[in-house]
Structures are given as structure tokens and as C-alpha cells.
Chains A and B, each alone.
Chain A
């Protein structure tokens, strides 16, 4: 998921001023060869030459993706204790565990570009790095956990499938593995909602309420509209991005609306099938809300970061003990060898 370019216009302008190399004019032989390899659909590997801007963009995108996996554990993890059956509890634990695994996997992939996990986590906690805005919305009923599976993991898959062919080898390979698990996440979420719709009126109300709250934010996961997405073309050229935000968003809406209808939830009136284009029209999204949430507005943003800080602070003595012990073991091994 979670890979959309969330930089504000000011940030983009700032980076452009700093001179991220992206013009063909200063391309030397290395850079030409680099681009030629990308054009030939070859993978770029960690030790290969790459332009600075490519490296920076990837570190930002992968770490943002990793942070999203980790922060995303919070709204779902808080329901593990309350899952309604033993089967649902086991599925949810396995899902949250997968997300932790995705985070680790992506941090490692980002580390291949020379930035350590510690530094990336520091950036997250300091508010310097972003994560998907979707996780700044609260999970207020059980149905939210299922809807996250269906819509949020679903949007993630739509975003990530093209990334399986991303030009950076370690990222592309990470995405192949992650996508497999995300599709299990999506199926279990949708299946759990189908079950609830067979239940009582109260349960159906829960499902509708959760669909109403999560549907629009899930569309925002694809990032700002193309008209407002300055760096897209460079990223396309580098094959870090293969489809535009709006293309992916449309693809997601087209897949999701029939699912919503099959599920039996009421879809917003503005959404209508366009007979000419054969796509669903859905009007304008509330970009003010999106930008506000990106900037830390919304009910949960500070809770999420505080929760991550608390986990790390509470665990400091454990990590210190583990390194102290490892050091002692090493000394003991060396002493034994002498």
C-alpha cells in the first residue's frame, strides 16, 4: 500500500530547488546506461550505479511503506483481544503478524540503499517521515477491522501489484511476497463482512457504518489527483511508478463497487456507472480532509505516533539487555578460542 507520494507542494518545490538530478542535460554515461537498463526492464540492484534522486525517492517510498505497515498494526491490533470467535482471533493475529513482517521486510529493502532502520524509525517518530493517512482513522467497531482488510488491503494490492515490476530489484521482490499475503488479508476481511451481513440488523448497521467511514479514505490512499502530482513523470520514467494515481484509483473503484453491491451495503449516490466509459464515476474527493490528515489532523494521528514511541521507550531496557548480553557472549567466545 501506502506508497503514494504524500509530499506537499511546498516539499516538492523545496526538493526541486535542492536540485534532484532529473534533467537529461547533466546525464553522463553512467546515467544513460542506468536509464537504458530500466528501459530494457532490467532490475537495478543495490551495488549498481543509480542517480541520487532515484535513491532518495526509493528510500522515501519504501520507508513510508514500511512505516505504514507498522503504524497499521495499531488500529487492527487493538481488536485482537476482542475478536468475536477463536477463528477470527487467530486470523487477525496472523494478519497483524504479517504486517509486522512486511514492515521488517521493507525496512531491510530500504537498508540496501544505505539508510539504517534505526534512522528510518527515528524519522517516523520525529514526524519527519510520513505513513499512509488511512491509519489516522479510528477503528471503532469490529466491522472496521474487516473493512480494513477488504478496502485498505484491497487498495494496497491495487497499488502494489504494479510495484512487483518496479525497477529496483529488492523492492520488486519484496512486493511479490507482500502482495500474496495482502490478498489473503483482503479475502478474510471481505469474507468476515459477508458473514456479518447474514446476521442481525445491528451487525448490518455496523458493516454499513464502517463502509461509510472507510470508503472515501481508502480512495485517498492512491494519493493526490494526477493534476496535482508533479513528480509522477520522473517516477514513471524510472519505473518506480507504472500507473498514475488516478488510473489506479479508478481501477480500485471499478473493482470495489460490484463487491460492495454483492455484499449488500448502500453505495454513495454519486457513484454511477458511466455507460460511455464503462467505468464508475465517483466525483471529487475531499482533498482538504486528505491534506489535513496528511499534516497530522484527524482523531488518531498523535495517538499512533505516541503508541509507537511508548512501545520503543518501554522496550529500551530490553534492547539494551539484549545487546549487553550479545557482547558478553562474544567476549566469552573469543576468550574460549584463545
Chain B
């Protein structure tokens, strides 16, 4: 592989790739919680979330590979691209930190992902519509899980309130990126394939505000200025180290040189 996708190249593919990468990277992050959770029950919950997300990533990457038309498999796309060719949002690659940060990240993202999938169920890309229709049930559970934990931590103790607030404060700067609508996404939306991310913002804001209020948390303020775009292959430092772990075996023992997994 090793090709660097140009921003305008095959937008349909890049759009699906973006959906896939969000699920893959967030799934990888949830996998990191395994056997480190606050309770055994939460270890099990974390592994459910990881399984759902990686399952979604697998289906979306298969579809992306078809759209790409270069004979790649889902695994090729997951394991052989460098950070520059990943199209996930910066939010999902942020480290787990503590259970407060992880919960804040999951609330922000799963509410967004739900809005996105809900709109994409009507996509004219029938294969994509199929995948998200199935995934919508999972994400519906994810956002409920994240909302319940946000409220539990927000209302729990003084410490838990501070910790989850810290999570939202830390991650809020990655929110504007979620609703950025690039030109080609708008064109895909006009064609009925994609949903323009900007159109999801109001619904998302209403929900997140409701939950934060119920959790005795404040909605972080301040403008976020993000320099660079995932569409141009820009990321935070964390994606590189995440990929080191994710891709290690495929890189060291390449399938192209005969390795069989």
C-alpha cells in the first residue's frame, strides 16, 4: 500500500473510510480497557463496546475496499496504512486516560455517531445503509451506556464530578471537527450518499446539553481552533503510537511475504 490519498480522490471511498476509521480507532481504544476496568462488569462492558466497534469497522472497511477498487482487503486497509492515510476524527484517537475521560469521549462521540448512522440508514448507497442499520442498534446502546455513566459520575461524588468534567473540558476542543463539512462531503450529501456533518450539530448539541445538565456538569466554553484536517492526513501524536501497536504483527510479518494469520 503506502499510497497517500489526495483529499479529492474518490470521495465516496474516503467518506466510508472515515466512518470505518472512527469505529476502528475507538474500538482499539476500548480494547485497551480489557482487564483494567474498575469492575469485572465494566471489563465485560468495555469488551462489548470494542467488539461492536471493531465489527462495524470490519464491515465498513470491506465496503471501503470495494469502493476503492484496488484489490485491498479490510485488513490491508486497517493494518497497512500509515497515520497520514487515516481519516478518523481526532477525538477518537485521544488516549483513554481515566474512566472519566473515556466516558466523556464516548458520550461526545456516540451521540454524534448515532446521529450520523441514523441519517445514513437512508443513504442511496444500499450497502452502507445496510451496515449502519445494523450498527445503529449497537450505537443506541453505546450512547445510553455513556449517558448513564456521565450522569452517574457527574452526580456521584465530588471527585467523580471533577474527573468527568475534566474529561469534557479536555476533549471539547475536538468537537468542532465533528461537524466540519468539506465540499466533497456536501456533494455526496446532495447525491443522497452521505450526510453533511454540519446538519447534525443542532440535534447533537441539544442532547449533550441535556445530559450534561442532568449530570450537574457544565458545558465547556471557548472556541477551538484546530490546525490541520483529517482529510489532509493530519492527526494528533497519539494516532502514531496507537498504530504501532495495532499494526505491529502485519508490519513485521507481512502477508505479502507469505505470512498467514
Contact = CB atoms under 8 A, between A and B. Distances in A.
Given A199-B259, A322-B156, A324-B156, A77 B253 contact: no
A96 B48 CA distance: 11
B35 A311 contact: yes
B39 A86 contact: no
Nearest to A99: B35
Contacts of A312: 38
B74 interface: yes
A232 interface: no
Interface stretch (B50-58, B82-90, B105-113): B50-58
Chain A binding site: helix, strand, loop or mixed by DSSP? helix
Given A196-B260, A203-B259, A318 B38 contact: yes
Contacts of B214: none
Interface residues of B, number: 49
Interface stretch (B10-18, B26-34, B133-141, B197-205): B26-34
A88 B160 contact: no
B54 A89 contact: yes
A322 B31 contact: no
A86 B98 contact: no
A294 to B, nearest CB: 22
B152 A321 contact: yes
Give the interface centre of A94, A103, A104, A318 by most chain B CB atoms within 10 Å: A318
B152 A322 contact: yes
Give the interface centre of A203, A317, A320, A321 by most chain B CB atoms within 10 Å: A321
Nearest to A313: B38
A288 B15 CA distance: 60
Nearest to B250: A84
Given A82-B246, A321-B159, A89 B36 contact: no
B106 to A, nearest CB: 14
Contacts of A320: 156-157, 159-160
A142 B151 CA distance: 39
A196 B37 CA distance: 32
Contacts of B34: 73, 77, 80, 93, 96-97
Interface string A73-85: 1100100111111
Interface string B138-165: 0000000000000111011101100100
Interface in A86-120: 86-90, 93-94, 96-97, 100-101, 103-104
A218 to B, nearest CB: 21
A70 interface: yes
Contacts of A94: 47, 51
B177 interface: no
Interface size class, chain A: 35 or more
A307 B36 CA distance: 8
A328 B155 contact: yes
A315 B160 CA distance: 11
Contacts of A311: 35-38
B57 A86 contact: yes
Contacts of A80: 31-32, 34, 50
Contact of B58 (A70, A86, A142, A196): A86
Interface in B52-106: 54-55, 57-58, 61, 74-75, 78-79, 98-99
Contacts of A84: 79, 249-250, 253, 261
B28 A81 contact: yes
Contact of A73 (B35, B153, B245, B260): B35
A73 B35 CA distance: 6
Contacts of B35: 70, 73-74, 77, 96, 100, 307, 311
Interface string B177-191: 000000000000000
Contacts of B156: 320-322, 324-325
A73 B99 CA distance: 20
B40 interface: yes
Given A198-B260, A321-B160, A315 B28 contact: no
B260 A318 contact: no
Interface in A219-272: none
A302 interface: no
Contact of B160 (A82, A83, A307, A318): A318
A96 B163 contact: no
Contacts of A334: none
A96 B37 CA distance: 13
A37 interface: no
When A and B form their complex, which 10 residue pairs have the shortest distance between CB atoms, in order from nearest?
Answer: A315-B38, A321-B156, A321-B160, A199-B260, A318-B38, A97-B47, A84-B249, A84-B261, A73-B35, A77-B35
17 contacts: A81-B245, A83-B249, A84-B253, A84-B261, A90-B51, A90-B54, A97-B48, A104-B44, A198-B260, A200-B260, A314-B38, A314-B98, A317-B160, A318-B39, A319-B39, A320-B159, A325-B153
Given A89-B31, A93-B47, 11 more contacts: A77-B35, A84-B249, A85-B250, A85-B261, A96-B34, A97-B48, A196-B260, A200-B259, A202-B253, A203-B259, A322-B152
